[in-house]
Structure 1
Amino acid sequence: MKRMFSVMLPAAVLLAGCVSMAPDYARPESPVPRQWRGVAAASDATQGGARPVSLLDVEWRSFFRDERLRQVIALGLAHNRDLRIALLNIEKARAQYRIQRAAALPSVKVDAGQSASRSPASVSATGTSAVSRQYSAEVGFSSYELDLFGRIRSLKDEALESYLSTAATQRSTRLSLMAEIAGDWLTLAADRELLALARRTLESQHETLVLSEHRHALGVVSGLDLAQVRSSVESARADAASYAAQVEEDRNALELVVGAPVPDALLPSGSGDEPVLLAQVPAGLDSTALLVRPDVVSAEHALKAANANIGAARAAFFPTISLTASDGRISSQLSDLFSGASRSWSFAPSITIPIFDAGSLRASLDVAKIERDITVAEYERAIQTAFREVADALSVRVSMQERLAAQQALVQASSRTFQLAEARYRNGMDSYLDALDAQRTLYEAQQGLISLSLTEANNRVTLYKVLGGGMNMDRQMILTGLGE
């Protein structure tokens, strides 16, 4: 029995998982076009079997080039509660996978014990009471299932794919968090610049008011012109106060998503002399790049998990073979427990064959197949959603440079118009109404340029997000972390 027990355990392990009844996995055909409308085809360097152009290999610290923004993002990655929950979900999925993986191997235990009993004289063969003792020490395993039909292996594969899906979801959450922090930071920068513009306008209007009051005292400026100047001053003051409140709201929103206070030194200055520098987005894009976007990867791992679950449901139709075995010592005297005569062993194989279950197994298999079909639809929907998000971002970007150039030209023209109108007013050639209209036009054009620059910067961040930038993690690295 000793030789049998020493051979039985390795043999049982080798027999486990010899067969898998899960269907062969095949990635569904992509339900979206290969190329986005209005986007040039990928360059020759990305064709002929090579991976298409994408932002997957652009690490986020290289993409966000402003050091203050990088530090704020790093602060958010360390303190954001949603990301913390996602990380804990990964740890939970990893532990669940390890539990399921352990089921493929027998659980070997060592048991040691002592029992004592007393028999009264009335039932004793000798007519006297007797005390008997028994000592035991055994090593063995119980109810170990031989996975001849791959049920446990399929469950292990399902747990692995579920873990990988959770890990991809965490990467998607991380990428969305970085994009949200960047968007809030850029919005704060734009509103600070708008606040600075409003204050400069207020200062200019106040200077004009002082001059107009002096000229009105001399009888050069009419009371109507003076009233219009005062009206423009109050309007500029209201704008400055409104933007000041908006800047505070922006900072509160930024600190909420970061999950911690943001130091003043990491806030954007709001000065046009220090623009936020972001990496350029490549022009040639292929929709196959979406297949490694974190949320799409998560959906595909969920599909693989459902596929493995079908294998477990199929294996349930076949017999289940379990083994229980032990080898040890039993003796009535503790001193004789390890003597040659105290040797004991047990071996108890069992087999369970399903005969009648009122259709339960068939229904379980149908459920597994339907769940697989549902995850196929969810996977295809994830690809379609990703394709649309990229298409929307690209449609914004197509005319962005032309819009920026036109807006910059409008600012320059409006500035020249205001300079001429103000000079004519100061020289008494025109009323203040012409200068006021010119200044309002310039003010609106400058506001429009700031807003459009924010839209352009946010568009780059959005493209980086929807293309899954910087989130391409090697599967083998993850498996290595699991001990695979």
Structure 2
Amino acid sequence: MIRNILVIMGVFVCLGGCSLAPKYQQPGIPISETWPQGEAYENTQAVSGIPTAQELNWQDFFTDQKLKKIIETALDNNRDLRIAVLNVEKARAQYGVRRAELFPAVDASGAWTKQRRSKDLIDPEESRTVEQYSADLGIASWEIDFFGRIRSLKDQALEEYMATEQACRSAQIALISEVARAYLTLAADKESLNLARFTFKSQQDSYNLILGNYQIGLATRIDLRRAQTQADVAQRDVQRYIQLAAQDRNALNLLAGTQVPDAMLPVDLGSVPPVSEISAGLSSRVLLNRPDIVAAEHRLKGAYAFIGAARAAFFPRISLTASMGTASDELSGLFGAGSGTWNFAPRIAMPIFDPRIWAALRVSKADRKIILAEYEKTIQTAFRETADALAVQGTIDRQVAAQESIVDATTETYSLSNERYNLGIDGYLSVLDAHRSLYAQQQTLISLQLAKTANQITLYAVLGGGGRPFQSTKL
């Protein structure tokens, strides 16, 4: 009989596995397959020999050795990334729970009971005290997955696990780019601090010179106050950039998950080596390999599987309870001849009237439409982010070149205005205006240089570069 039970269970396992989930077909991409064209996108076309972002490891993309060490530290210590990795482990464990439901859970049990019965409930010759020992090995309420309900839920859990794994890669990419931007921002603010300090010293020297002239009657009081104003502005900016540099370092420490040593910090923006060149590729379909888009597609596949589980709820659910063991009224006779027992109890439940099943099916179909829209929006957002970065890439060099020319011109204007003031041709107001313009244009140049390098990092990130393959154990 035991052999027959095992044979029947094997047949049930083989017959299970029918799936009612709709067949998945990858949706069309809701964007143009070519990158935007126009004046803003000149010199952004793919060039042979230049790798795409996903072909270039972040260790090769970044050339600054200090920055690479900070990124490695962040990948090991950042708490947000650690949470993302733990979420992957959690999703994998949840998938393991769902997959285990396909197989019967075998339990072993042992029991000893001793009971005192009423005389009114027994025959005169029977003992009032009853003692029983038993040992059993059995299966309790194992659902045989004829219509794929459990298998569909298992597939959904698998897709969620894979989506979480891709989300972890997205977190890695975001962390790498954020560390690099924080590093560059600190470098730019340090360069602005150096400029403010140089300007303050220059304006302080001018103020001392005008003060001397004022004391001997060669300068007016208004010229003295104007010179003092410029020196005070520069001193204010020195303190402001000291504050910004400290806050930038705090942000870098938070991203790195630990205190970044002084020796690993940048001196200024000019000391940071440029990153490697990358290509956007010939087609926007390269975005489909971005981890966040891959994760969205896995969730869409999971929605298809959930529809299969909702459909399976309309069909009978078959479960099996079976056990075999031994029982005796004496412990010494527990495994003796004639003490064997067995139990075989299949059960079938067929839904007749349950409006919740129809509602659950409608919910699953609505979820699929929602997740499809989210998948398409993720693609559109990725396309917009890449197009914006390409627009900056196509124009930033001309902006920087124009700004450098402006700085050269304002530098000469300031020098000439200073000479004319010293010769008594012009008042100090022209010198003041020339210096204000020079200082503002120098600050703008630093901002554009930061924007240029930061945009290269942004382009690398939005194209899906920088994600390390997630090392997971075999399922």
TM-score normalized by the length of structure 2: 0.89
What letter is aligned with 2:329?
S
Instruction: Please say if residues 280 and 463 of structure 2, whose CA atoms lie closer than 8 Å, have aligned partners that are also in contact.
Output: no
What letter is aligned with 2:372?
V
Alpha-carbon separation, structure 1, partners of 2:293 and 2:379: 6
- Identify which range, 315-324 or 21-30, moves more after superposition: 315-324
| 1:464 alignment counterpart | 460
Residues 331, 202 of structure 1: alpha-carbon distance in 2 compared, 3 angstrom cutoff = same
Alpha-carbon separation, structure 2, partners of 1:326 and 1:100: 24
Alpha-carbon deviations, 1:328-382, whole Å to 9, x = none?
222222222223322222211122222x224332222222112111111111111
Alpha-carbon distance, 1:33 to partner: 0.2
Alignment of 1:273-284 (within 5 A): 274-284=271-281
| 2:13 alignment counterpart | 13
Instruction: Please say if residues 190 and 451 of structure 1, whose CA atoms lie closer than 8 Å, have aligned partners that are also in contact.
Output: yes
What letter is aligned with 1:331?
S
Is 2:299 aligned against 1:312?
A: no
Alpha-carbon distance, 1:22 to partner: 0.8
Alpha-carbon separation, structure 2, partners of 1:256 and 1:14: 54
Alpha-carbon deviations, 1:267-311, whole Å to 9, x = none?
322263x13432223254521111122221221111111100111
Alignment of 1:17-416 (within 5 A): 17=17, 19-38=18-37, 42=46, 54-119=52-117, 123-127=121-125, 129-214=127-212, 225-270=223-268, 272=270, 274-354=271-351, 356-416=352-412
What letter is aligned with 1:91?
E
- Identify which range, 5-14 or 153-162, moves more after superposition: 5-14
**Which of residues 445, 459, 463 in structure 2 aligns to 1:449?**
445
What letter is aligned with 1:55?
A
Residues 200, 175 of structure 1: alpha-carbon distance in 2 compared, 3 angstrom cutoff = same
For the aligned residue pairs, the C-alpha RMSD in angstroms reads 2.8
Residues 249, 128 of structure 1: alpha-carbon distance in 2 compared, 3 angstrom cutoff = closer
Alpha-carbon separation, structure 2, partners of 1:122 and 1:359: 51
Structure 1 gaps, min length 5: 47-52
Alpha-carbon distance, 1:99 to partner: 0.9
Residues 42, 12 of structure 1: alpha-carbon distance in 2 compared, 3 angstrom cutoff = farther
Aligned structure 1 segments of 4 or more residues deviating by more than 6 angstroms: none
Instruction: Please say if residues 269 and 450 of structure 2, whose CA atoms lie closer than 8 Å, have aligned partners that are also in contact.
Output: no
Alpha-carbon separation, structure 2, partners of 1:283 and 1:146: 51
What letter is aligned with 1:234?
D
Structure 2 gaps, min length 5: none
Alpha-carbon deviations, 1:385-437, whole Å to 9, x = none?
11111111111221111111222222233334444444555566655444444
Alpha-carbon distance, 1:456 to partner: 0.9
Alpha-carbon separation, structure 2, partners of 1:139 and 1:284: 62
Alpha-carbon separation, structure 1, partners of 2:49 and 2:243: 50
- Identify which range, 284-293 or 135-144, moves more after superposition: 284-293
Residues 357, 217 of structure 1: alpha-carbon distance in 2 compared, 3 angstrom cutoff = same
Alpha-carbon separation, structure 1, partners of 2:321 and 2:314: 22
Residues 87, 367 of structure 1: alpha-carbon distance in 2 compared, 3 angstrom cutoff = same
Instruction: Please say if residues 54 and 285 of structure 1, whose CA atoms lie closer than 8 Å, have aligned partners that are also in contact.
Output: no
- Identify which range, 35-44 or 135-144, moves more after superposition: 35-44
Alpha-carbon distance, 1:81 to partner: 4.0
Alpha-carbon separation, structure 1, partners of 2:259 and 2:45: 44
Instruction: Please say if residues 57 and 470 of structure 1, whose CA atoms lie closer than 8 Å, have aligned partners that are also in contact.
Output: no
Alpha-carbon separation, structure 2, partners of 1:45 and 1:262: 36
Alpha-carbon separation, structure 2, partners of 1:367 and 1:216: 83
What letter is aligned with 1:412?
D
Alpha-carbon separation, structure 1, partners of 2:428 and 2:260: 45
What letter is aligned with 1:326?
S
Alpha-carbon separation, structure 2, partners of 1:450 and 1:336: 92
Alpha-carbon separation, structure 2, partners of 1:457 and 1:387: 20
What letter is aligned with 2:142?
Y
Alpha-carbon deviations, 1:183-241, whole Å to 9, x = none?
23222221111111011111122233344445556666566555543333233222222
Alpha-carbon separation, structure 2, partners of 1:455 and 1:394: 13
Helix, strand or coil for the counterpart of 2:54?
coil
Instruction: Please say if residues 176 and 466 of structure 2, whose CA atoms lie closer than 8 Å, have aligned partners that are also in contact.
Output: no
Alpha-carbon distance, 1:122 to partner: 5.4
Instruction: Please say if residues 191 and 246 of structure 1, whose CA atoms lie closer than 8 Å, have aligned partners that are also in contact.
Output: yes
Residues 207, 148 of structure 1: alpha-carbon distance in 2 compared, 3 angstrom cutoff = same
Aligned length: 470
- Identify which range, 387-396 or 325-334, moves more after superposition: 325-334
| 1:49 alignment counterpart | none
Alpha-carbon deviations, 1:132-182, whole Å to 9, x = none?
322221212121122121111101001111122222223323322332333
Residues 275, 129 of structure 1: alpha-carbon distance in 2 compared, 3 angstrom cutoff = closer
